[in-house]
Structure 1
Amino acid sequence: MEHLLSIVIATIFILLALLHLFWVFGGQWGINATIPTALNGRRVFNPGWPGTLLVAIGLLSFALTNLCAVGILKGPFDNKYTDYGMYMISGIFFVRFVGDMKYVGVFKKYRKTVFASRDTYIYTPLSLFLSISNGILAVLL
């Protein structure tokens, strides 16, 4: 069961990483609904390609950590570091789930933008799933 959960999580991370790489190389699909906006429609921030590339690399490393944690891949680190990594991934996505109390997360204040709608129905629940599932794997392994 742990292998299947790890594969599902790793697949999500890889797909998200590929999407971020698409944006790094100039792709525009989906970009308008993935950046928080204020009520006037202005972006809260404008991520550049270096930050977007860093996120893609992070997501790929999260996928590899998941696959190493269950033994599908052999990692370069001792298993205890992989365990720490799983807890860190869980924590990162829990923080994303909670959000900034204004534009992002379950407690966001602004809820009437395209991003806010997607955040409510897609991004925040996905963050909760990734937090809980990585946490469960970290405890079980």
Structure 2
Amino acid sequence: MELILSIVNSVIFLFLALMHLYWVCNGQVGIAATIPTKLNGKRVFTPSRFGTFVVAAGLFVFAVTNMIFGGMIESPVGLSYVSYAMWGIAGIFLIRFIGDFKYVGITKRFRQSVFARKDTFFYSPLCFLLAVSHAILLMG
């Protein structure tokens, strides 16, 4: 089960990393529903290409961390460091699931935008799934 969960996590992270790389290369599919907007429709922030690339690289590192933890590739560092990284990943996605009390996560107040609806039904549950799956892997 641990191997399957590590593979699922890795595939999710690789897919998300590839999506971010697509957006770095000016891809437009799906971009409108990925940035929180205010009630007037203006974006809360406009990510730079470099920032989007950094997110893609981080997601790739998360995928590799899961592969190491699942035993699919060898670790260049001790397994205890990989475990710390896995706890960090779980924490990042738990915080993202909870949100900022305004635009993202389960605590968001603005729920009428396209992003908010996608966040409620897809992005936040995915973040919760990733947080829980990492905790399960670490406790298993």
Shared fold per TM-score greater than 0.5: yes
2:7–2:70 contact (8 Å) kept in structure 1: no
* Superimposed CA distance per residue, residues 43-92 of structure 1 (whole angstroms, 9 cap, x where no aligned partner): 00000011100000000000000110121111211100000010000000
Take 1:99 and 1:29, find their aligned partners in 2: how far apart are those partners? Answer: 25
Q: Give the match for residue 97 of structure 1.
A: 97
The one-letter code matched in structure 1 to 2:130 is L
Which residue does the alignment assign to 2:42? 42
Residue 79 of structure 1 aligns with which residue?
79
CA RMSD of superposed structures (Å): 0.5
Map 1:1-141 to 2 at 5 A: 1-140=1-140
Q: How many pairs align?
A: 140
What secondary structure, in the 3-state scheme, does the structure 2 residue paired with 1:36 have? coil
- Distance in 2, Cα, partners of 1:61 & 1:136: 19
Which 4+ stretches in 1 moved above 2 angstroms? none
- Which whole-Å CA distance do the structure 2 matches of 1:55 and 1:63 have between them? 12
TM-score (norm 1): 0.98
Moved more, 68-77 or 101-110: 68-77
Do 2:65 and 2:82's aligned partners in 1 also have CA atoms closer than 8 Å?
yes
TM-score by length of 2: 0.99
Q: Give the letter for the 1:58 counterpart.
A: G
5+ unaligned residues in a row in structure 2: which ranges? none
Percentage of pairs with the same residue? 51
Q: Deviations over 1:85-138 (max 9, x none)?
A: 100000000000000000000010000000000000000000000000011112
- Segments of structure 1 that go 5 or more residues without pairing to the other structure are none
Contact (CA 8 Å) 2:37, 2:113: kept in 1 or not?
yes
| One-letter amino acid matched to 1:125 | P
Deviates more, 1:130-139 or 1:43-52: 130-139
